[in-house]
Amino acid sequence: MKSSLAPGIRFITSFSRDGWYRSSILFLTFLFYTAYHLSRKPISIVKSELHRNCVEVIRPADLNITNNQTWCDWAPFDQENYQTLFGALDNCFLVAYAIGMFISGMFGERLPLRYYLSFGMLMSGLFTCLFGLGFYWNIHSLAYYAFVQVMNGLMQTTGWPAVVACVGNWFGKGKRGFIMGVWNSHTSVGNILGSLIAGVFVSSAWGMSFIVPGLIIASTGIICFFFLVESQSLVHQTNTQSSHETEPLLQNLSHADRTVNGTIATESVEVVEEHAEAISFIGALRIPGVVEFSLCLLFAKLVSYTFLYWLPLYISNIAHFEAKEAGDLSTLFDVGGIVGGILAGLVSDYTGGRATTCCVMLLFAAPMVSMLLVCGGLVNGPYALITTAVSADLGTHESLRGNSRALSTVTAIIDGTGSIGAALGPLLAGVISPTGWNNVFYMLISADILACLFLARLVFKEAQGWCGQGVPRVRG
């Protein structure tokens, strides 16, 4: 019997050069943004260790302790206003992130993404480690930790516009919601890994809860420098193969191939030169749908980041779990987020209704804010869809007439506006939580409803298209 080629080799060689590049881009950008979120998560896990209830944990043997009086807390978080201090730390990061995001997108359009991402991850790793080194250097200055959070927030803005632009450069609109829904699980995967890694060290040496994630994201920055291929145009410069094998999905040609319902259709578009200028901030705001989705994301992200920063402390206070147990349980919200992001992408691809999918999921999320797994899916599903597929759709909108250089700016505007909500949520939670955790949940429910209201006009237009009263816009 004659031996055939090994099935594994047949599988590997079945991919074209273009297929290998696309697969590597998905894998690398997934890895990069997992590292970004992994390095953000430790602060929420460590909070319950920085301020513990000394009365509850004291034991008779501990009465002989003669060293400093904050043996079970970490100054300056040993005061009664510790929740306000934690809220201030969160906002140092989130406000800096929100402000920096609007600027970061414009840098992302004008600088090589490989260099930009590598620099951002190395610097994010540095400032994450510096927070943890406060434990070993015995630093008790709020100003130190606030400064580190501000700088880390600014550095972290390099990530999202750049990775979305990289993926958008390689993938067209066909099944974009599903592809990006699966890809966007990096957010939840990063949160889960960040919780688990921080939980390993939090009760023994909380500084390592920051240092280990910091070293991980710095390492991914080195990987990015050596392996990221940010766009197909770079491949074309060194590739002498026929143009049809490596044809860009977002290239600017007079006759561009567009994907519609899984088939290839050719339509004539205006020629745009490769040196076309990057879009302005005001020009990006004028793209239909950018403002509505940005404001919706503001409130959706408010809910998501309130859970991200306060859920472990809430579980610790209400259920009296240890810091590690509370952190582990909080990952249920992120597990739901993985499923929700994929589901939102599938549904929006099938129906063509990005806004309607987001609105329906947010409406169902409002009464379920106390059910971690379900709420995580219903909140993070729209969040994931808006920050990925919707941003990519709008960044390559037909009104741009073939100029694909708006993708990073549009992504930054949408996520930057959402980041304002991400800053407000933890801040409000810190102010409201002393009055009772129920009031925090009422605030989250209100934010969900407001997120839906901002999509009302777009949902109406999509419904008109489905009912034949208008022309529906096919999305993949």
Residue 273's pLDDT band (cuts 50, 70, 90): very low
Residue 23 lies in a domain: yes
Residue 364 lies in a domain: yes
> Can you name the residues that pair with 73 across neighbouring β-strands?
51
DSSP 190: H
Cβ atoms of residues 344 and 357 within 8 Å = yes
Residue 92 lies in a domain: yes
Task: Kindly report the CATH number assigned to the domain that includes residue 168.
Answer: 1.20.1250.20
Pairing of strands 263-268, 255-260: antiparallel
Distance CA 393, CA 166 (A): 14
Query: According to the model, what pLDDT value does residue 55 have?
Result: 44
* 88 pLDDT higher than 60: yes
Distance CA 360, CA 455 (A): 10
Q: How many CB atoms lie within 10 A of CB 301?
A: 31
pLDDT in tens, 440-473: 888 888 998 998 898 888 888 888 888 875 444 4
Residue 176 lies in a domain: yes
Residue 267 lies in a domain: no
Question: What mean pLDDT is reported for the chain?
Answer: 78
Q: Which residues contact 109 (CB under 8 A, 6 or more apart)?
A: 165, 278, 279, 405, 406, 407, 408, 409
Lowest-confidence range among 13-17, 202-206, 287-291, 427-431? 13-17
In our burial notation (b when 16+ CB lie closer than 10 A, e otherwise), range 263-296 reads eeeeeeeeebeeeeebbeeebbeebebbebbbbb
Tell me the CA distances in angstroms from 200 to 45, 86, 195, 197, one per residue in order. Answer: 10, 21, 9, 5
pLDDT in tens, 152-203: 999 999 998 888 888 877 876 556 677 777 888 888 889 889 988 998 998 8
Distance CA 434, CA 173 (A): 47
Cβ atoms of residues 297 and 386 within 8 Å = yes
DSSP for 201-217 reads: HTTT-TTHHHHHHHHHH
Residue 284 lies in a domain: yes
What three-state secondary structure class fits 185? coil
Residue type present at position 137: W
Q: Which residues contact 301 (CB under 8 A, 6 or more apart)?
A: 383, 418, 419, 421, 422, 425
Residue 212's pLDDT band (cuts 50, 70, 90): very high
pLDDT in tens, 369-424: 667 767 778 887 887 788 777 877 776 666 555 555 567 778 888 888 888 888 88
pLDDT in tens, 39-76: 998 998 888 788 775 544 444 444 444 444 444 678 88
Cβ atoms of residues 323 and 441 within 8 Å = no
> Considering its fold, how many domains does the chain have in total?
1
Residue 213 lies in a domain: yes
Residue 238's pLDDT band (cuts 50, 70, 90): low
Peptide bond into 42 cis (omega under 30): no
pLDDT in tens, 135-154: 999 999 999 999 999 999 99
Residue 249 lies in a domain: no
Helical ranges in 111-240 per DSSP H: 113-136, 142-156, 159-170, 176-183, 186-201, 208-227, 232-238
Q: Range of 333's domain?
A: 17-53+77-232+280-466
Query: According to the model, what pLDDT value does residue 255 have?
Result: 38
